[in-house]
Structure 1
Amino acid sequence: MTQSVVVQVGQCGNQIGCCFWDLALREHAAVNQKGIYDEAISSFFRNVDTRVVGDGGSISKGKICSLKARAVLIDMEEGVVNEILQGPLRDVFDTKQLITDISGSGNNWAVGHRVFGSLYQDQILEKLRKSAEHCDCLQCFFIIHSMGGGTGSGLGTFLLKMLEDEFPEVYRFVTSIYPSVEYHLYPLFLIASLLMFFPQKSLFDIISKIDLMVNSGKLGTTVKPKSLVTSSSGALKTRHKKPFDAMNNIVANLLLNLTSSARFEGSLNMDLNEISMNLVPFPQLHYLVSSLTPLYTLTDVNIPPRRLDQMFSDAFSKDHQLLRADPKHSLYLACALMVRGNVQISDVRRNIERLKPSLQFVSWNQEGWKTSLCSIPPVGHSHSLLALANNTCVKPTFMELKERFMRLYKKKAHLHHYLQVEGMEESCFTEAVSSLSALIQEYNQLDATKNMPVQDLPRLSIAM
C-alpha cells in the first residue's frame, strides 16, 4: 500500500488542509464504522503508539494508539496553527511535524522565499524526511498553499524546489490559490508533477452560483440541518463563518475526490502517479483545469440525485469549471475522469462516446482519456465526478496574469519592497516575464493546430 504526505504552507494552505483532514476523517468513519486501522486509512494517516514506558520498563495504561495525519504544517505566523491545535482536530496532527514563527513574512514573497527559506531549510528538510520515513512506500507529496501573501507563496515555492532536489522520484501535486492581483510570477514555473490553480475570483463565482441555487427556490428543497459533506456544518463548525471558509471547502472537496482512489477500493482505481503520467505530455504544460459535479456536493442542500448522464455533461460545462474558462472551445491535451459511487464502466464509456463529438483533442492524442472508478461515494451522495483536463483554455488566465503584472512592473510599483530583501534582484522579475511569455507562446502553438491536417502539423518547440 502506498502513502502520501500533505504539506500545508501559510494561512491559506493550513486552513484548506484542516478542512481536508476533517472531511477525510468523516468519510473513513462512515465506511470503517468499527474504527479498524486498515490500508485505506494508512494511505493518509498513521497509527501512533502513545503508551508511555516507565522507569521500570512498565507501559502506562489507557489510550494505546492515536491516529495522526501524514502532514507537515508550516506557517511563519503562529496564529492559524495555534487555532488548529486548540480546535477539534488538535489530536490529529503530530506536534513534532509543525514549523511556526511569530513575525510572519509581511505579505512579501521575497521574505518568505529568501529569508525564511534559508532560515528554516534544515528544519523543513528534517520534517519532510521524517514524514517519508513513516511511509512504507511514499507515492507523492501534496503541497497546499496560496500565491498571495508571503509565507504560502515565498516559502511554499522554496519548499517545492527542496522537494525537487531531495525527492526527485516522488511526484509533487501542487494546489495553489491565486489572489486577484499578483506581482511575483516566478513560482509558476517551478517544476511540479502537476499544478491545479484556483483564482479567488473563480472560487467566488462558484460560491455565488451555489448561493443562487439555494436562494432561488428552484430546488424546492431545504437546507440540511446536519450535513456530513461540508466542514461548515460538521466537526469544524464555528459560531461565525470566516470569509474564505466556503472557498476553502471547494478545494478541500476537490482534494477529497482526487485522493479517493488512494483511500478506498474501486473496480478501476487510478494510481495517483497515473494522473501525471497521462495528463502531462510535456513537463512545462502541467497546469490542470478541474471541475467537480454535482455542485451541491459543496453545499448543505438536500437535492435528489440527478441523472448520471447529466453529471458527465455538467463536468464539461463552463459553469462547473473551477477556473474562469470554457474547455469545450479550446484544445484538450488529455482528460481524466475520476468517478465515485455506484457507477459502471459501461456508463463511463457511454458518456465519453456521447461527449466526444463536442470536444476537440490534439491530433496525436485523440484517445487521451483516463478513467477511474472508486466504489465509495462522498458521504450523503450516490455518486460524484471530478474531471481533470490539460486544456489550452488556461492560456487566457496566464495572459491576464501577465497583463496585470506588467501594469505594476512598468511603474515599478511596490518593487522596492522586494528588492530590499537580501539576495533579491530585479532579474528575477524579468526572467519570470520571459518564462510566462514562452508558456503563452506554447499554448498559442497548440491552439494553432486546431482543425489542421495531421501532415501539416508543426513540431512543438517545447523543451523536454
Structure 2
Amino acid sequence: MTQSVVVQVGQCGNQVGCRFWDLALREHAHVNKKGLYDEALSSFFRNVDSRESDGAAHVVGGRIQHLKARAVLVDMEEGVVNEILQGPLREMFDSTQLLTDVSGSGNNWAVGHMTYGSAYREQIVDKLRKAAEHCDCLQCFFLIHSMGGGTGSGLGTKVLSLLEEEFPEVCRIVTSIYPSAEDDVITSPYNSVLAMRELTEHADCVLPVENQSLADIVDKIKHMSHSGKPGSAIRRDSTLISGQGGLSGPEKPFDAMNNIVANLFLNITSSARFEGSLNMDLNEIAMNLVPFPRLHYLVPSLTPLYTLADVSVPTRRLDQMFSDAFNKDHQLIRADPKHSLYLACALMVRGNVQISDVRRNIERLKPSLPFVSWNQEGWKTGLCSVPPVGHSHALLALANNTCVKLTFTELRERFFKLYKKKAHLHHYLHVDGMEQSFFSEAISSVSSLIEEYQHLDATKGTLMLDAPRLRIAR
C-alpha cells in the first residue's frame, strides 16, 4: 500500500488541511465500523498505538483514535496551528510535525521565501524526511497553500523546491488558493506572480482555486437554501455546512470556502484511501494529464456541492452530475472550459457508479467539449466505490484546459498596476537575497505561460503539427 504526505503551509493551508483531516476521519469511521487500522487508513494516517498488538484503533465519539496524520504543518504565525492544537484534532499531530514562528511574513513573498526559507531550511527538511521515513512506499506529496500572503506564497514555494531537491522521484501535487481582485492584501499580485514562477518550475501538478469562485459558490448555495422551494433545505452533512473541522471558536467567514477546497482534496485522494473497480494511481494524474511539463495547471470542478433534501438519485440525476462537472458554476476558478481547448481531462468518480455510466456520459458530452486534435481520446477515469459521507455519489473533474490563462492574465494585469508605480517594491528589495530581477523573471515566466496557452488556443479546430508541440515542450 502506498502512502502520501500532506504539507500545509500558512494560515489558509493549515485551515484547509485541518478540514481535510476531519472529513477524512469521518469517511474512514463511516466505512471502517470496527475501527481497525487497515490499508485504507495507512495511506494518510499512521498507527502509533503500541498498547495493542493487533494495531487496533477504536472509534470513540465517531473518530478513530491512536492515529497520527501523515502531515507537516508550517506557519510563521502561531494562531491557526494553536487553534488546531486546542481543537478536537489535537491528538492527530505531535511536535515533530509542526513548525511555527511568531512574527509572520508581513504579506511579503521575499520574507517567506528568502528569510524564513533560509532560517528554517534544515528544520523543514528534517520534518519532511521524518514524515517520509514513516512511509513504507511514499507515493506523493500534497502541498496546500495560498498565493496572496507572505508565508503561503513565499515559504510554501520554498518548501516545494525543497521537496524536489530532497525527493526528486516523488510526485508533487499542489493546491494553490489564488486571491480575488478585491483581496485585502495590497501586495497579493506581487506574491502570487513570484509564487507562480516557482509553481511552474517545481510542481508536477497544480490545482488552482480562486477565492472569488469559492465565494460565488457559497453565495449561490446560501441563496438556494433560502429560496423556500420544496426540498431545498441544505443538510448538515453537505459540502458547505458540515462543521468547522477541528478548529475551535465561532465560525469564520472563510470556513465554508475552506470546506469546498477540503472536499476537492478529499475526492482527489479517495482512490488512494479506498478500494474501487478502477482506482486511479496518483502518479497517473501527471502522467496522463500533463502533455507539456510547464502546462500542468489542472482546473478542478466538484459535484455535487451540496446535498438537497430529495435524495432519490435516478439515472437522470447521475447524468446531471456529469453535466454539472463541465458547467462553469461548478469550476473552482472563474472560467468556462467549454469555450477553451482541452489538452486532457480526468474524471474521478465516487460511489455506486458503473464504468458504463462513465463511458455513456463521456460519449454524450464529447461533442460539446473541444479537445486538442492530437489527443481526442485524452480521458482518464477513476472509480472509487466509497462515496463522501451523506452522498450517494460524487465527481471531481480535473481539466487541463487553456481557460486557466484568464486567471493568469488578470493576475498579470493586477501585478503591472502595482509594478509600474513601483508601489511597495522597497519592502521586498530590503530583504536579504531579494533582487529586482526576481520580479522581471517571475512576470516573464507568467507571460510565457499565457503565450503557450494562447498558442494552443489558436490551433482549436485545426491539426497541430509537431513543430509547435516541440516549442511548447521546451
User: What TM-score, normalized to structure 1?
Assistant: 0.93
Moved more, 429-438 or 213-222: 213-222
Secondary structure, counterpart of 1:386 in structure 2: strand
After superposition, residues 106-121 of structure 1 pair within 5 angstroms as 106-121=106-121
In structure 2, the CA distance between the partners of 1:236 and 1:303, relative to structure 1 (3 Å rule), is: farther
Q: How many residues align?
A: 449
**8 Å contact 1:231–1:237 — kept in the other structure?**
no
Secondary structure, counterpart of 1:442 in structure 2: helix
One-letter amino acid of the structure 2 residue matched with residue 251 of structure 1: V
Deviation at 1:215, TM superposition (A): 1.3
Deviation at 1:3, TM superposition (A): 0.1
1:184-231 CA deviation, whole Å, 9 max, x = no partner? 31221222010011121111111111112111123534343x437667
Question: Which residue pairs with 1:242 in the alignment?
Answer: 252
After superposition, residues 103-182 of structure 1 pair within 5 angstroms as 103-180=103-180, 181-182=188-189
1:263 aligns with 2:285: no
Secondary structure, counterpart of 1:422 in structure 2: coil
Deviation at 1:232, TM superposition (A): 3.9
One-letter amino acid of the structure 1 residue matched with residue 137 of structure 2: C
Question: Which residue pairs with 2:430 in the alignment?
Answer: 420
Question: Which residue pairs with 1:188 in the alignment?
Answer: 196
Secondary structure, counterpart of 1:49 in structure 2: coil
**8 Å contact 2:244–2:251 — kept in the other structure?**
no
Secondary structure, counterpart of 2:189 in structure 1: coil
Deviation at 1:136, TM superposition (A): 0.3
**8 Å contact 2:87–2:247 — kept in the other structure?**
no
1:304 aligns with 2:322: no
User: What TM-score, normalized to structure 2?
Assistant: 0.91
**8 Å contact 2:189–2:412 — kept in the other structure?**
no
1:290-324 CA deviation, whole Å, 9 max, x = no partner? 11011215xxx534245111000010011111110
Q: Which 5+ residue runs of structure 1 have no aligned equivalent?
A: 53-62
1:221-248 CA deviation, whole Å, 9 max, x = no partner? 4343x43766743764766210110110
1:280 aligns with 2:290: yes
In structure 2, the CA distance between the partners of 1:458 and 1:82, relative to structure 1 (3 Å rule), is: closer
Which residue of 337, 340, 353 corresponds with 2:347? 337
In structure 2, the CA distance between the partners of 1:237 and 1:131, relative to structure 1 (3 Å rule), is: closer
**8 Å contact 1:15–1:248 — kept in the other structure?**
yes
CA-based RMSD of the aligned residues comes to 1.9
CA distance in 2, matches of 1:233, 1:135: 30
Deviation at 1:462, TM superposition (A): 1.7
1:73-118 CA deviation, whole Å, 9 max, x = no partner? 1111111111100100000112211101111111111111111000
After superposition, residues 398-437 of structure 1 pair within 5 angstroms as 398-437=408-447
In structure 2, the CA distance between the partners of 1:406 and 1:14, relative to structure 1 (3 Å rule), is: same
Which residue of 204, 211, 214 corresponds with 2:215? 204
Identity of aligned residues (%): 73
Question: Which residue pairs with 1:47 in the alignment?
Answer: 47
Secondary structure, counterpart of 2:302 in structure 1: strand
Moved more, 115-124 or 195-204: 195-204
CA distance in 2, matches of 1:237, 1:18: 8
CA distance in 1, matches of 2:466, 2:238: 54
CA distance in 2, matches of 1:197, 1:244: 17
CA distance in 2, matches of 1:99, 1:441: 39
In structure 2, the CA distance between the partners of 1:308 and 1:418, relative to structure 1 (3 Å rule), is: same
One-letter amino acid of the structure 1 residue matched with residue 217 of structure 2: I
**8 Å contact 2:171–2:283 — kept in the other structure?**
yes
